[in-house]
Amino acid sequence: MSYFKYHVFFCQNQREAGETCCNNCGATEMQAYAKDRVKALKLNGPGKVRINKAGCLDRCDQGPVLVIYPEAVWYQYVDKEDIDDIINEHLMNGRIVERLKI
């Protein structure tokens, strides 16, 4: 068994001005929001969910992106509602959010 049931990595890479990157699309704020929501829902901790920052995940043109392991499911998101859907469906109920999957 892995240490966490789900390990969520938010790309937060910051490129030079004018270059496409997840952090230009609010990735830092969305990662902090997800971390706070998971904690408020008591989903965090060993055997549960870990929300992490990541450097470049090499999917800049599809960003902002996050990936959830162990399934290696990649998501593109836009706003807090998308993050809530990922938390509610994937992290709480084990169902992939098809509309956000890349």
CB burial of 47-81 (b: ≥16 within 10 Å; e: otherwise) equals: eebbbeebeebebbeebbbbbbeeeebbbbbeeee
Return the minimum-mean-pLDDT range out of 14-28, 32-46, 62-76, 83-97: 14-28
The average pLDDT across 61-66 equals 91
Largest CA distance in the chain: 43
The average pLDDT across 44-72 equals 94
pLDDT at 13: 87
Domain count, the chain: 1
- CATH number of the CATH domain containing 53: 3.40.30.10
- Domain of residue 87 covers 6-100
**What are the tens digits of pLDDT across the range 65-92?**
999 999 999 999 999 999 999 999 999 9
Calpha distance 34→10 (Å, rounded): 10
Q: For strands 49-54 and 6-11, give the pairing.
A: parallel
The pLDDT-based confidence of 19 (bands split at 50, 70, 90) is confident
Q: Find out whether 51 and 83 touch, Cβ atoms under 8 Å.
A: no
Within a domain: 1: no
